[in-house]
Amino acid sequence: MKKILLACSAGMSTSLLVTKMDQYVQTIGEEAKIWAVGQDQAKKEMAEANCVLIGPQMSFLKGELQKEADKYGIKVEVIDMMAYGMADGKKAYEQALRLMGE
């Protein structure tokens, strides 16, 4: 099962994207755990994830979060601005897959 962590300032703005990603995953018959947290919780929860997507408003934290993610051998990437703004679950999920090397 793929495990995708989304992080934003408070974990609220990414929750809609999580819902849309979950809906897309169901339509293609895959299994994934996708969840959203605030930036303070992200470092604590990334050990459970296969990759981390962060909200565009947190792009300045990418380097810091990637340093932490390196401990777990996972990658951090800023969510595509269009996918984020349109809550495009398919596009965000495909971005996560690429990040995981799939």
Give yes or no: 8 in active site: yes
Catalytic residue among 4, 5, 8, 46: 8
User: Among 20, 4, 88, which residue's Cα sits nearest to residue 54?
Assistant: 4
Half-sphere exposure of 19 (CA within 13 A, CB side): 8
What is the number of structural domains in the chain?
A: 1
Write the DSSP string, 27-47.
HHT--EEEEEEEHHHHHHHGG
Segment 17-37 mean pLDDT: 97
Q: Which domain CATH number covers 86? A: 3.40.50.2300
Alpha carbon 75 to chain centroid, angstroms: 10
Alpha-carbon dihedral 26, 28, 92, 48, rounded to 10 degrees: 60
Q: What is the chain's mean pLDDT, rounded?
A: 95
Range of the domain at 58: 2-99
- Mean pLDDT, rounded, for 3-30: 91
Q: What percent of the chain has pLDDT over 70?
A: 98
Across the range 81-97, mean pLDDT stands at 97
pLDDT at 13 (0 to 100): 75
Band (39; pLDDT cuts 50, 70, 90): confident
